[in-house]
Structure 1
Amino acid sequence: MAAAALFCVLLMFLSVLQHGVLGYTRSDFPRDFVFGSATSAYQYEGAAAEDGRMPSIWDTFAHAGKMKDKTAGDVAADGYHKYEGDVELMAETGLEAYRFSISWSRLIPNGRGAVNQEGLKYYNNVIDELVKQGIRAHVMLYHMDLPQALEDEYDGWLSPRIVEDFTAYADVCFREFGDRVLHWTTLAEPNVVALASYDTGELAPGRCSDPFGRTKCTVGNSSVEPYVAAHNMLLTHAAVVRLYREKYQALQKGIVGINVLCLWSNPLTNSTADLQAAQRYRDFVYGWILNPLVFGDYPQIMKKNVGSRLPSFNKVQTELVKGAIDFIGINHYYSLYVNDVPLAEGARDFIADRSVCYRAYKTDPPTGQNDPTQYPSDPQGLQLLLEYLKDTYGYFPIYVQENGKYSFLYRKGSTNDSLDDTDRVDYIKDYIEGVLNAIRNGVNVRGYFVWSFMDLFELLSGPSGDQTRYGLYRVDFDDDARPRRARRSARWYSDFLMNKQEPVLIARQ
């Protein structure tokens, strides 16, 4: 028996020498590091008009036919009715944490006022199930689903009135759930919301203006509104952090962070112009959100390029915003090659102000078009990003809150419904190694979450579209029962988390 085990070890060692592979296990990560998976309310819950829930801007946007396949999240993955079985499935998978969002319009249907007791009961039940199974709850307060009532009343994120209403909503969440929740994220991808909701019009509420919008918008101003919306999101986040620190943190011992989409940018060439363009991309995309929260103001290049269209922080606001962050949450899927383009004259929007073109492949002529069929796997890009965040913003805890939209799943003409997602397993293996390498280089990464735990209603398409199959578990949207079936990636992730396998081997070319 001992001889056989020794022989297996010898074979593995010879394989490492022959193929140039590296190995890691769950045990190679710090003891307090957490592995999990994630969903979001509108994409997962369904039950859009049940038990007192009122419409969000995504209900309105989808039902107006703004989705690519004219679907809506009325049922989605039916998580509202199936959460108990789903949490049990998480436990069987070995998840250590689950990141989910709360639907503001389910908890406080009109955005302010009375709490919906059925909504309160639902989220208490979800959290209690997680606690019972030993799974840590990581809660996102807002995942792009503003109550429609507030959009109708004062245009939502375009009004400073949102600060008070969102803070009151957050107060309810902290009060009701904070005894069991230690990790709070205020906003999902405010940089994406500002750009895609108020510049290109691709996401709810779909505001834009000619010639910048990628959809037909009836209202909006692409030159100004993205910056106004982001500014109000930052003030809102800061107000919520102050509330938690002053009223809840001493007793509950939790932390509050923000989530930002962060794609790594490589210069297309080694020219000074392209090197500056790669940095400008980082400043405009994630510096837009993180610089104010760490340093108290927007990046200088944004102030220069955007000018008077960029809102400014007064002294009181600067004091509120600066330091209003306990951790950084990032969503990361791929890297880009970036090159410089001249700063355009005349009418401006966020994309023009950024003054870069980007593509995934260095050999392709950059067009500036967002063509996800071209995005390759680049785990080193995640490592470089994490190291950049540490070097730029300090030793904050960082959570990779979404990773796993493997680029193969974007290919047109396929629903990517296969259970045998071998390529995605390789993708996840590689990116987890990128996280481990960053940790070994001194980055304070505390967690990694696969997006998503199961197939969801996709905000860019809908459950029957081409871009929906990101789940560890397949959901059959054609079946009213919405059955779940494990993909190969779910089985691999489970084995990895439970240390049921030999060290993960990463092939080197």
Structure 2
Amino acid sequence: MGLGLTTQKFSRDDFPPKPHFVFGSGTSAFQVEGAEAEDGRTPSVWDSFAQSEKNKRGVDCCDGYHKYKEDVQLMVATGLEAYRFSISWSRLIPNGRGSVNPKGLQFYNNFINELVSNGIQPHATLIHYDLPQALEDEYGGWLNGKIVKDFTAYADVCFREFGDRVSYWITNNEANVYALGAYDTGIFPPYRCSAPFGISCKAGNSSTEPYIVAHNALLAHASAARLYKRKYQLTQQGFIGINIYMFWFIPFTNATKDAIATQRAYDFYVGWFMDPLVFGDYPDVVKQNAGTRIPSFTPEESKLVKGSWDFFGLNHYTTLYVGDDSGSLKMEQRDVVMDMAAKFSDTLDEVPPGEFHISPEGMKGSLEYLKQHYGNPPVYVHENGQRTFRNASLYDTSRVKYLESYIGSMLEAMRNGSNTKGYFTWSFIDLFELLDGYESSFGLYYVDLNDPDLKRYPKLSAHWYSSFLKGEGRRDHDITEVEKNSSAHFN
């Protein structure tokens, strides 16, 4: 039976060839490795959450720690040109600083070697939400300026040990979302927030802490980038950048106040990080609304942060509509989201339960925004994919439609001059999702958590992506051909 979907009028050949442009997929250490207490690894801030009753399989994850060779062979079969992963700080340096764990070092060496020997380009993220619990307990983690020195020392180990094979480094994954989720609304570990913006936290201050964490994250990134450029880049010939999360914001109405609110949302959500990195300081509207609650850059810090990148990573999934809510600025209690003074809604249309609204124009719009506002920097789309409820169905037609439409939108942006250098689906396999554990999935491959061997099964999206990457079929070939050619895998 046909699925009624056709691909866009493009193929892999419409994009620059590898290494000028790469297509890949990705995961992160805590979400896929498992082996949480093996071979010297110590807890990260995520472990206590993952061990809760609701997420009791969280610590086991997909056992990528032991099954990495099998997973790399799936990457080869899929035709991936690159793979984005993260390094577990607490596996490599269990105390957060000091001695390197030999078994952690061996694992990442083995994994990177496996990628390289199979022709897959490694893209390594230094931290993907999983700060060592030891540093959180000792001095408050990202709330303390001490994190800059410890993060730089950790980065130094990674550059020294892996930089001869890893040429693409991402210091921090979507630091803007982490600052909000962990310190404003309190939905991520270490669960810090204050009422009324977050109601279940035991400690925190939603009005000040997100700004402090963001400031320290920017300084830590810039310090690590300066180290890389001074000590390693000339010999290793690699590149370093930082990743941000970006919604495509659209005014809810044609009213001028909604257009102004939309720009304010961009300034707080994107400019909060991008402006210091490109221009050396926070946006004026952010400084005006946050006042003394946001730290100031010294002249030396501004110089350190400005230009401390070779590329930017973009995580983009969906579109939000923005309406003005500036009246709320008169409230005495304020958090970062309140400072934006905007109301958000995911879509004007109905969205299937558990799924992201498919609005591919948001990909083109996000890339255009970075081009127009920040001088068209090199950009890697590090995460893009369709969220669905987790189930055993391998016919993820919605995900196929999502991927084909967003890749097509990215191509439109590139034809319009966007300096986009790569695209990675999220995620390569179904894994432990940071928002809801095993209730949702993004993977190209299904993982059977009831199977003692955690067997992986390709979904229709894996076959579609593989067909696209390998240049199989016509530009406009019907997806029913993908279904027919892969039907044996679903039986």
- Where on the TM-score scale, by shorter chain, does this alignment land: which range? over 0.9
The residue number in structure 1 matching 2:483 is: none
- Asked if the contact 1:102–1:139 (Cα under 8 Å) also holds between the matched residues in 2, the reply is yes
TM-score using structure 2 length: 0.93
- 1:78-477 residue pairs with structure 2 within 5 A? 78-214=63-199, 216-342=200-326, 343-362=329-348, 373=354, 375-406=356-387, 409=388, 414-463=389-438, 465=439, 467=440, 469-477=441-449
- 1:31-70 residue pairs with structure 2 within 5 A? 31=17, 32-63=20-51, 65=52, 69-70=54-55
- Give distance in 2, aligned partners of 1:248 and 1:290: 25
Q: How far off is 1:294 after superposition? A: 0.3
CA distance change for structure 1 residues 277 and 416 in 2, over 3 Å: closer, same or farther? farther
Report the more deviating stretch, 318-327 or 353-362: 353-362
Q: How far off is 1:375 after superposition? A: 4.3
- Give distance in 1, aligned partners of 2:399 and 2:352: 19
CA distance change for structure 1 residues 37 and 383 in 2, over 3 Å: closer, same or farther? same
Identity of aligned residues (%): 54
Q: How far off is 1:405 after superposition? A: 2.6
- Tell me the SS of whatever aligns to 2:300: helix
The residue number in structure 2 matching 1:4 is: none
Q: How far off is 1:360 after superposition? A: 2.2
TM-score using structure 1 length: 0.90
Please give the per-residue CA displacement for 1:70-116, whole angstroms capped at 9, x wherever unaligned.
43531101000000010011011100000000000000001000000
CA distance change for structure 1 residues 22 and 482 in 2, over 3 Å: closer, same or farther? closer
- Give distance in 1, aligned partners of 2:256 and 2:7: 35
- Give distance in 2, aligned partners of 1:506 and 1:354: 44
Report the more deviating stretch, 204-213 or 223-232: 204-213
**Which ranges in structure 2 are unaligned for 5 or more consecutive residues?**
480-491
Q: How far off is 1:480 after superposition? A: 2.2
- Tell me the SS of whatever aligns to 1:297: coil
- Asked if the contact 1:401–1:448 (Cα under 8 Å) also holds between the matched residues in 2, the reply is yes
The residue number in structure 2 matching 1:481 is: 453
- Give distance in 1, aligned partners of 2:6 and 2:421: 28
Q: How far off is 1:30 after superposition? A: 1.1
- Asked if the contact 1:296–1:322 (Cα under 8 Å) also holds between the matched residues in 2, the reply is yes
- Give distance in 2, aligned partners of 1:21 and 1:456: 27
Please give the per-residue CA displacement for 1:215-238, whole angstroms capped at 9, x wherever unaligned.
x11111111100000100000000
The alignment's C-alpha RMSD in Å is: 1.9
- Give distance in 1, aligned partners of 2:363 and 2:478: 16
Q: How far off is 1:361 after superposition? A: 2.2
CA distance change for structure 1 residues 112 and 61 in 2, over 3 Å: closer, same or farther? same
- Give distance in 2, aligned partners of 1:124 and 1:487: 30
- Asked if the contact 1:344–1:355 (Cα under 8 Å) also holds between the matched residues in 2, the reply is no
- Give distance in 2, aligned partners of 1:110 and 1:373: 38
- Asked if the contact 1:429–1:504 (Cα under 8 Å) also holds between the matched residues in 2, the reply is no
